[in-house]
Amino acid sequence: MVPERLQPVLDETAELTRRFAERGHRLYLVGGVVRDLILNRFHEDADLDFTTDADPDGIEALVTGWADAVWTQGKRFGTIGCRKDGRTYELTTFRAEAYQPDSRKPEVAFAADIQADLSRRDFTVNAMALSLPDLELIDPFGGVADLAASRLRTPLDPSVSFSDDPLRMLRAARFIAGYGLEPGPAVVAAVEVLHPRLGIVSAERIRDELDKLMVVPVPGPGLWFLVSTGLAGEFLPELPGLALEQDPIHRHKDVLAHTIAVVEKTGPDRLLRLAALFHDVGKPKTRSFAKGGVSFHHHEVVGARMTRERMQALRYSVEDTETVTALVELHLRFHTYKMGWTDRAVRRYVRDAGPLLDRLNELTRSDCTTRNAARAKALARRMDELEARIAELRAQEELDAIRPELDGRAVMDILGVKPGPVVGKALNFLLELRLDEGPLGEQEATRRLLAWWADQQPQE
């Protein structure tokens, strides 16, 4: 009897399976889809990966006419991609791949059978295949047993697996965190020795794998693995650098422990999690001692610059970099308003945060990891007060679109000037006025502008 959770996949792939069988080829579901079907974690919209004994030309011929779209960018690596009824499929010829010692790209060789193909995969929990249509589980390396025991192992010796594709060392962190797997001693030892080999992997592949780790529900165990094995030092040296700094404010003995706690307190928003990861990276460079204590003045400014440099090195988009950098730079802004939230302070906070306001508020809340219950309660109360003030002013004013009450054309008409720097200065004056005092109305704004303009004129 077919397990209920497998039937939809079996029905969906029946025609594809028939096409391959009629040409004398075997077709297997493989990798993550098999793992997640076993764990009952398969998502209905997930991509489906297959492996087959058909060569790339044969795969292309078999899916053409069945799929709604076919693409061949990966054909030289043995992979044909296609889409059918909104689902993406990848079909790959049995293969073995390995990096040469100094190469960023794998050299692909096709394998003779399914077991050889599975032996070259990253981890045993991903080295399982499900033959179609008979649903025989091919599990030569004990992936099911490792799932049951929460173990992370490699099909071959880990030094071979990680040499084949060094990115697998970083991928291990995601499986440790995302599936609650414990890395075996051989896996840990291999990463400790081989982590410099990550240097041959492109920044884009490293970035994409880091992003996947950042959105698992509890990324902490993966982050600790990166630091403890030395792997983080290869692409994110700022992270292990935080372990050197003592943090007297938060409940942790060092800034690294605090940082990982903040990451886990935020929701699985990729950019928010990255901001949490970077928010204190400026502390080592800004540490100073005075009156028997330690401080990190302006670490948010230094940290924002370091964040920008690291994200650019990892080839993040300009938009992603600007978002995360802004959150790092703004993450202490809340604490500058210790005397209470005046209308002016609220307007400036909202203006500076812009579309990042909700993320900034969540980062600020998550940044409190103190054991001191009274201090934590006080911070939460102040955040509640701020959000209440924002809601109150938002109901009265257009906080999300704060701008001068007169536009540039009106300024030029009132002052009798042409386009130029003076118009920008006048608009800045009006914006500051708007932030300080709220809506004034066009008549009062005009009066204030004329008074400001009179002050700008040379005295006779």
Total number of domains in the chain: 4
Kindly give the parts of the chain with pLDDT less than 50: 250-252, 460
Are 58 and 164 members of one domain?
no
Are 33 and 137 members of one domain?
yes
8 Å CB contact between 46 and 69? no
DSSP string, 203-252: HHHHHHHHHHHHTSS--HHHHHHHHHTT-HHHH-THHHHGGG---SSSSS
Is 224 inside a domain boundary?
A: yes
Are 18 and 109 members of one domain?
yes
Distance CA 445, CA 451 (A): 10
Helices and strands (H and E) in the chain: how many: 23, 13
Is 39 inside a domain boundary?
A: yes
Is 251 inside a domain boundary?
A: no
8 Å CB contact between 170 and 195? no
Are 133 and 160 members of one domain?
no
Domain that holds residue 8: 1-146
pLDDT digits (tens, 9 = 90+) for 140-182: 999 999 999 999 999 999 999 999 899 999 999 999 999 999 9
Q: Which of 121, 146, 171 is the last residue of a domain?
A: 146
Who's near 286: CB < 8 A, 6+ residues apart? Answer: 296, 297, 298, 299, 302
Predicted pLDDT of residue 252: 47
Distance CA 410, CA 432 (A): 17
Are 69 and 161 members of one domain?
no
Classify 40 in phi/psi space as left (phi over 0), alpha (psi -120 to 50) or beta: left
Are 160 and 32 members of one domain?
no
8 Å CB contact between 282 and 303? yes
Are 118 and 182 members of one domain?
no
CATH number reported for the structural domain that contains residue 55 in this entry = 3.30.460.10
Are 27 and 158 members of one domain?
no
φ, ψ of residue 129 to 5 degrees: the values are -135, 155
Is 240 inside a domain boundary?
A: no
Amino acid at 185: P
Are 140 and 16 members of one domain?
yes
Strand partners, 88: 83
**Tokens representing residue 391 in the block:** 């809601």
Are 96 and 184 members of one domain?
no
Predicted pLDDT of residue 299: 87
Q: Which of 210, 235, 260 is the last residue of a domain?
A: 235
CATH number reported for the structural domain that contains residue 186 in this entry = 1.10.110.30
Distance CA 163, CA 156 (A): 11
Predicted pLDDT of residue 22: 93
Amino acid at 447: R
- Helix axes of 318-330 and 299-313: crossing angle, nearest 10 degrees: 160
Are 214 and 348 members of one domain?
no
Strand partners, 130: 29, 137
8 Å CB contact between 196 and 233? no
Give Rg (Cα) of the chain. Answer: 29
Predicted pLDDT of residue 386: 85
Of 270, 271, 264, residue with least CA distance to 323: 271
Predicted pLDDT of residue 411: 83
Is 281 inside a domain boundary?
A: no
**Tokens representing residue 150 in the block:** 């929460």
Which DSSP state fits 315? T
Is 287 inside a domain boundary?
A: no
Who's near 87: CB < 8 A, 6+ residues apart? Answer: 12, 45, 47, 48
Are 59 and 139 members of one domain?
yes
Is 186 inside a domain boundary?
A: yes
Is 243 inside a domain boundary?
A: no
